[in-house]
Amino acid sequence: MRVVVLVKAVPDLDRMPFDPESRTARRAGTELFLNPFDARAVLVAASLAGPDELPDVVSLGPAEARGPLLEAMAMGAARGYLLSDPRFAGSDTLVTARALAAAVRPLAPDLVLAGRWTTDSSTGQVPAELAENLGLPYVDGARRIEPLGSGRLGVVADTDDGWARYEVGLPCVVSVGEKIVKMRAASPEAREAAARRPFSVLTLEDLGLSPGEVGASGSPTRVVRLEDEAPSREPRLFRATVATEVDAATERVRALLARPRPAGPAIRRPTEEPGPEGEVLVFVGRPEGGVDSEALPLVSEVWRLPFPLHPSVVGFGPWTDRDALRLARAGASRAYWSAGPDGWRSPESVSGSVVPLLDAGPTAAGLLVRSTPWGRELAGRLAARRRLGLTGDAVGLALASNGSLVFRKPSFGGRQVADVETRRGPALATVRTGAFAGAEFDREASAFRVALLPPIVAPDRVVRTGTGREHEARYGDLARARTVVVVGMGVGGPEGIAEVLDAIRPLGAALAATRRVVDSGWVPPQLQVGLTGRSVAPDLYLTVGASGKANHLVGAQRARVVVGINSNPDEPLFSRVDVGLVGDWRTVLAPLARALAPAVAPTAG
């Protein structure tokens, strides 16, 4: 099997300076490392390809990326290709995918592998956009890959609530997640051998691309503002070793919870007969057909934008009166629906139904898709097909002075916030789950119109053959719980998590986790909150044994009160919470939970 692996050299974000003029990171002169998700992909590729046909690795980056690319080769690759040209500077994900496709296409691989995320951007967009550019099927977030014979692969991949099993024909593109293989470093001997293997540096001319197709000038998205994430909390620290201070901390949390809820941005009333201009399409379909409840807050959020913007919804599957009522009350102006039976459909086949809608409605201001594995592929394919700019993991919407949509998203590990504008419409974005609060309007199902789209007839080149849930009831419901307790590496392991669950029982809380806890396999990935996880907005967000880095707490920005417990007073956590308790969580967590229970009555979750 001929395998090509996409790899990326990434910086240490904590040490990387920023250029305020170009609104980009100053990567020149910054030490770069092999993205750990891509390293996993190389290890998997080497095992699939076999000793007689080692994989090739392809990367786009500056000249300094040569070292990380050689590291990837030392992990089991035969040849390296570095796409390096100063004219690539400022390329967004669409341009990056186009350039990578130009390099991969002549290699004629049976399988293209990539890491699901990169640690510097965490959008997960490039593999799907690459697949669309190559015209190949795609599976996101594989945790196991096995050849089935007859030119087909079996892939088990992560989903929102567990896993799914797929069959897909070769050639195809697959991204890999954290669970697929245990990381291991290359040996010194392997590094020496890699330095002697073929290594090519490719320029624009080698790829058959023109300067106008790449870089900032060829990218449909641009960052119009990049700023440090300003602290929105006023931390107060207490010593958990002193009973009176624990009591004072508890009273402080109670007082914060008792404050009136902030009103939030104003929201307009839905217009019964909206005009033809300013339509923002919101994809509300589930992969199995029907309405995705967690996408409804995206519909309501559009009504916080100025006139004339208004939301319409897009989906597929059965159409029911109950769905019509739910969508009307969420604020939808109209619905575009591809009616048909229940059943899972791939993002590739669904995108073929949505593209004609975009062509028929060229005045649409934007298209929003919930940021799930399925949604990211759908958005990536739409972006590549229509050459649209795609903003990944947006957490905010605004309107620019020229009337175009602007998306706000965490950037550079959550330490900065970027405002991203699209040069040509419709503006396309995936939106973080939990980023927006929903609203319900007093409306009848007849308050909006329904336009039926043609049935989806494209065959699914990716076939789902089974699914499984991994979310246990004891973890609670992150989407609805009033209290969320997040565990970090400081709890020590699965035994510590069991202690935490026992201690927080009075709170009726949902459990969440940092990325490192998930990577360690202590809890399912569906519990991850943060830059590459989900966002939550509980009344109380209580961290236990977490360091409190920006890439984690970016997922809790909408929490009303954030409390942190950690024994190390120097952790960044204590500059980003409302109340901090310095001490052993085993001593303070249980009494704190009992004391706070009346203030956060477990009526949800």
pLDDT-wise least confident of 21-25, 216-220, 359-363: 21-25
- Please state, for a pLDDT cut of 70, what percent of the chain lies above it: 93
Same domain membership, residue 174 and residue 70: yes
Tokens of 128: 């799907």
Say if 383 falls within a structural domain.
Answer: yes
Tell whether the model's pLDDT for residue 121 goes beyond 80.
no
pLDDT-wise least confident of 261-275, 355-369, 438-452, 470-484: 261-275
Helices (H) and strands (E) in the chain — how many of each? 16, 31
Same domain membership, residue 183 and residue 48: yes
* Domain stops at, among 465, 487, 507: 465
Say if 182 falls within a structural domain.
Answer: yes
Tell whether the model's pLDDT for residue 360 goes beyond 70.
no
Rounded Cα distance, 466 and 145, in Å: 15
**CA 81 remoteness from chain centre:** 28
Tokens of 393: 């993991």
pLDDT-wise least confident of 3-7, 127-131, 189-193: 189-193
The most distant pair of C-alpha atoms in the chain lies apart, rounded to whole Å, by: 71
pLDDT band at 604 (very low <50, low <70, confident <90, very high): very low
Say if 121 falls within a structural domain.
Answer: yes
Mean predicted lDDT score pLDDT of the chain: 89
Same domain membership, residue 210 and residue 77: yes
pLDDT band at 591 (very low <50, low <70, confident <90, very high): very high
pLDDT band at 197 (very low <50, low <70, confident <90, very high): very high
Rounded Cα distance, 7 and 113, in Å: 9
* Domain stops at, among 465, 482, 508: 465
Mean of the pLDDT values across residues 437-464? 87
Same domain membership, residue 479 and residue 456: no
Q: Which of 415, 396, 410, 409 is nearest to 228 (CA)?
A: 415
pLDDT higher at 416 or 211: 211
pLDDT band at 550 (very low <50, low <70, confident <90, very high): confident
How much is the pLDDT for 19? 59
Mean of the pLDDT values across residues 526-554? 89
Same domain membership, residue 239 and residue 180: no
Radius of gyration of the chain (CA): 24
Rounded Cα distance, 533 and 515, in Å: 8
Mean of the pLDDT values across residues 18-44? 77
Tell whether the model's pLDDT for residue 263 goes beyond 70.
no
Angle between helix 126-134 and 93-104 (nearest 10): 50
> Length of the chain in residues, anyone?
605
Mean of the pLDDT values across residues 431-460? 86
Tell whether the model's pLDDT for residue 198 goes beyond 90.
yes
Same domain membership, residue 509 and residue 367: no
How much is the pLDDT for 268? 86
Strands annotated E in 298-356: 310-317, 334-339
Domain span holding position 192: 3-219
If one counts the domains in the chain, the total is 3
Tokens of 112: 């293209």
pLDDT band at 521 (very low <50, low <70, confident <90, very high): confident
pLDDT higher at 496 or 449: 496
Tokens of 163: 């896993």
Burial 525-542 (b: 16+ CB within 10 A, else e): bbbbbbbbbbbbbbbbbb
Same domain membership, residue 533 and residue 491: yes
Q: How far is CA 600 from CA 150, 437, 457, 480, in A?
A: 57, 19, 49, 13
How much is the pLDDT for 605? 38
Rounded Cα distance, 135 and 468, in Å: 29
Same domain membership, residue 289 and residue 189: no
Say if 107 falls within a structural domain.
Answer: yes
CATH number of domain containing 442: 3.40.50.620
Say if 427 falls within a structural domain.
Answer: yes
How much is the pLDDT for 27? 57
Tokens of 158: 């992560």
* Domain stops at, among 436, 465, 494: 465
How much is the pLDDT for 170? 97
Q: Which of 302, 297, 300 is nearest to 279 (CA)?
A: 302
pLDDT band at 414 (very low <50, low <70, confident <90, very high): low
pLDDT band at 15 (very low <50, low <70, confident <90, very high): low
Same domain membership, residue 121 and residue 137: yes
pTM, to two decimals: 0.89
152-158 and 427-431 beta bridge pairing: unpaired
pLDDT higher at 34 or 404: 34
pLDDT band at 230 (very low <50, low <70, confident <90, very high): low
Rounded Cα distance, 501 and 382, in Å: 42
pLDDT band at 204 (very low <50, low <70, confident <90, very high): very high
CATH number of domain containing 485: 3.40.50.1220
Say if 270 falls within a structural domain.
Answer: no
Say if 269 falls within a structural domain.
Answer: no
Sheet containing 334-339: order of strands = 390-394, 427-431, 366-370, 279-283, 310-317, 334-339, 449-453
How much is the pLDDT for 142? 96
Mean of the pLDDT values across residues 504-516? 93
pLDDT-wise least confident of 21-25, 342-346, 553-557: 21-25
Same domain membership, residue 289 and residue 437: yes
Rounded Cα distance, 552 and 542, in Å: 13
Say if 89 falls within a structural domain.
Answer: yes
Tell whether the model's pLDDT for residue 141 goes beyond 80.
yes
Mean of the pLDDT values across residues 380-394? 93
Task: Return all residues near 487 (Cβ < 8 A) that are at least 6 apart.
Answer: 496, 497, 500, 511, 512, 513, 514, 517, 522, 523, 544, 545, 546
Mean of the pLDDT values across residues 579-583? 96
Same domain membership, residue 560 and residue 512: yes
Same domain membership, residue 454 and residue 492: no
